[in-house]
Amino acid sequence: TSAAEAASYADNLMVVAHRGASAYAPENTLAAVDRADEMGFSWVENDVQRTKDGALVVVHDATLARTTDVEQVFPDRAPWNVRDFTVAEIARLDAGSWFDTRYAGARVPTLEQYMRRLSRNHQKLVLEIKNPQLYPGIEQQTLKVLANEGWLTPQHLRDRLVVQSFSPDTVRRVHELSPGVKTGFLGTPDIADLPEYAAFADQINSSYTTISPSYIAMIHAFEGPHGKPLEMLTWTVNDAENARKVVRYGVDGIITNKPDVVEEATRD
Ligand code: G3P
Ligand code: CA
C-alpha cells in the first residue's frame, strides 16, 4: 500500500470506542459512553445479554462477577450468571468500583437506558449480541428495543448502527428480520466461505492478530447484502504501532479501548 492510499484510508477510518472508552471508564456503563463522547468519539461498541426476567442489559461476560460487586451483594448465588438474576437485582449492583472508586455507583444499564444515553449524546453504535446461544429469540427482542428507541429509522440505518455477533446464525437472523440493518460477523472466515457470509453480513470484523493485507483485499472484493463492498472493523487495537499497521493493511475501522491513542497514531 502506498502512503497516499494509507492516508486516504486513515481519513475515513471509523474509530470505535470498545465497550465505551473502556480504558478510561468502566466498560459497558453510561459513564464509558459519556467518556467516549467527551473525548470526541461518536462510535461506541457494546455487548447485550438477557436477564432471568427477560430484560436486555449491557454487559460483556456471561457472569456478573468480574465487572460488578455481585459476589458481595449476593454471596450465595455463584456462579453469578447474568441470566440467573432479575433486572431489579442487577440494578442494585455497583458496576464502577471494580474499575476505580471514582465510578462507585455506576450501574449495569438496560439496553433502553443505554440507547437513550446514546441518543442524547448523538452517538453511534456497534451493538454486539453476546452469547446468543444462551438467549433464544434475543435477535428479535434486540431489534424491537432498537425500533422502540427510534434506532431503525432510515436515517439511523444509514450511518448510526451496526449489529454484530460471533454467531453467524445470529447475524443472519438479524439480517432476515430487519434487512435494512447493517450487520457484522465477528471472526475471520475462510476466504472460500466469504460468499456465504456476504449474503447477510456487511462487515467482517476480525481480531487484528488474524488479518493481512491480502485478506482485507479479499473482503473488499465481495459485495455485502446492501450491494456495497464488505468492510472490516478490526479489534481490539490499543497501541499506536498496531493501529498504524492495520491502517496500512487497509481496514475500514478500529475497535479500541483507547480511541485517543488510535486517533493520534492514524491522523493523516
Ligand atoms: O467488537 C469486537 C469485540 O468486542 C469482540 O470481542 O470479547 O470484546 O466482545 P469482545
Ligand atoms: Ca464486544
What are the pocket residues of ligand 1 if the criterion is a CB atom closer than 6 Å to any ligand atom? Answer: 18, 45, 47, 60, 128, 186, 235-236, 255
ipTM of the complex: 0.98
> By alpha-carbon position, which residue is closest to atom 4 of ligand 1?
18
Ligand whose nearest atom lies closest to the CA of 58: 2
Half-sphere exposure of 207 (CA within 13 A, CB side): 4
- Which ligand is in closest contact with the Cα of 257? 1
What is the rounded CA–CA span in Å between residue 246 and residue 235?
10
Q: How far is CA 224 from the centre of its chain?
A: 19
- Between the CA of 225 and the centroid of ligand 1 the distance, in Å, is 23
pLDDT recorded at residue 147: 98
H or E stretch covering 17:
strand 14-17
**Cα(2) to centroid of ligand 2, in Å?**
32
pTM of the full structure: 0.95
User: Residue 117: which residues within 8 A CB-CB, separation 6 or more?
Assistant: 30, 33, 34, 109, 123
Q: Are 135 and 48 in contact (CB under 8 A)?
A: no
For residue range 72-83, list pLDDT tens digits in order. 999 999 999 999
Using CB atoms within 10 A of its CB, is residue 259 exposed (0-12), middle (13-18) or buried (19+)? buried
Distance of alpha carbon 187 from its chain centroid, rounded? 13
Gap between the Cα atoms of 59 and 75, Å rounded: 20
pLDDT score, position 7? 45
158-210 pLDDT, tens digit each: 999 999 999 999 999 999 999 999 999 999 999 999 999 999 999 999 999 99
Single-letter code of the amino acid located at 122: H
Residue with CA at minimum distance from ligand 1 atom 7: 60
The closest residue, in CA terms, to atom 10 on ligand 1 is 60
Q: Residue 211: is its pLDDT beyond 60?
A: yes
Is the pLDDT at 1 greater than 70? The verdict is: no
Q: How confident is the model at residue 10 (pLDDT cuts 50, 70, 90)?
A: low
Mutation pick for ligand 1 pocket among 15, 16, 47 (CB with most ligand atoms within 8 Å): 47
Q: Clarify whether 175 is annotated catalytic.
A: no
Q: How far is the CA of 18 from the centre of ligand 1 (A)?
A: 8
pLDDT 10s digits, 16-68: 999 999 999 999 999 999 999 999 999 999 999 999 999 999 999 999 999 99
CA–CA gap between residue 253 and residue 231 (Å, rounded) = 8
pLDDT at 73: 98
Domains of the chain in sequence order: 3-62+108-266 (3.20.20.190)
Give distance in angstroms: CA of 2 to centre of ligand 1. Answer: 30
Q: Half-sphere exposure of residue 54, counting CA atoms within 13 Å on the CB side? A: 5
The DSSP call for residue 101 is G
Task: Output the residue whose Cα is nearest ligand 1's atom 2.
Answer: 235
- Per the listing, cell 432476515 goes with 176
Please check the confidence at residue 143 and state whether its pLDDT lies above 50.
yes
- pLDDT tens track for 117-142: 999 999 999 999 999 999 999 999 99
- Of the pLDDT bands very low, low, confident and very high (cuts 50, 70, 90), residue 226 is very high
* Given the residues 18, 122, 175, 220, the one annotated as active site: 18
For residue 61, how far is its CA from the centre of ligand 2 (angstroms)?
Answer: 9
Mutate to test the pocket of ligand 1, among 235, 252, 256 (most ligand atoms within 8 A of CB): 235
**Interatomic CA distance for residues 109 and 68, integer angstroms:** 12
User: What pLDDT is recorded for position 11?
Assistant: 65
| pLDDT in the model for residue 9 | 46
- 96 near 106, Cβ under 8 Å? yes
Active site residue 122: no
- Say which residue the cell 457484522 belongs to: 184
